[in-house]
Amino acid sequence: MSKDNVKEIKTIKPTQCFSYEVNMLVHIIADDETTAKAQLDEKGGIVTKRDVKLINTATLYGEGKDK
């Protein structure tokens, strides 16, 4: 039997999803709490402490990019 009519199956490239728990201490310089909260939501603030903990990893599968 000839293999000329066999189509190549796309290779599947596994990727991973990493889930982290992040606790941060953020400083905002503002005139009042309402303004500080708005600035935090829109622009962020000055991060002075950040603790990161890996919670979970999961292998995902998807098609590789066509060349």
Query: CB of 15 within 8 A of CB of 58?
Result: no
Reported pTM: 0.56
Q: 14 vs 8, 56, 59, 61, CA distance in Å?
A: 18, 16, 7, 4
Handedness of CA 44, 50, 51, 53 (dihedral sign): positive
Nearest CA among 62, 57, 27 for reference residue 45:
27
Token digits for 22? 């992040």
Please write the tens of the pLDDT for every residue from 26-50. 999 999 999 999 999 999 999 999 9
Beta bridge partners of 12: 63
User: What does the mean pLDDT of the chain come to?
Assistant: 87
Question: Does residue 7 surpass a pLDDT of 70?
Answer: yes
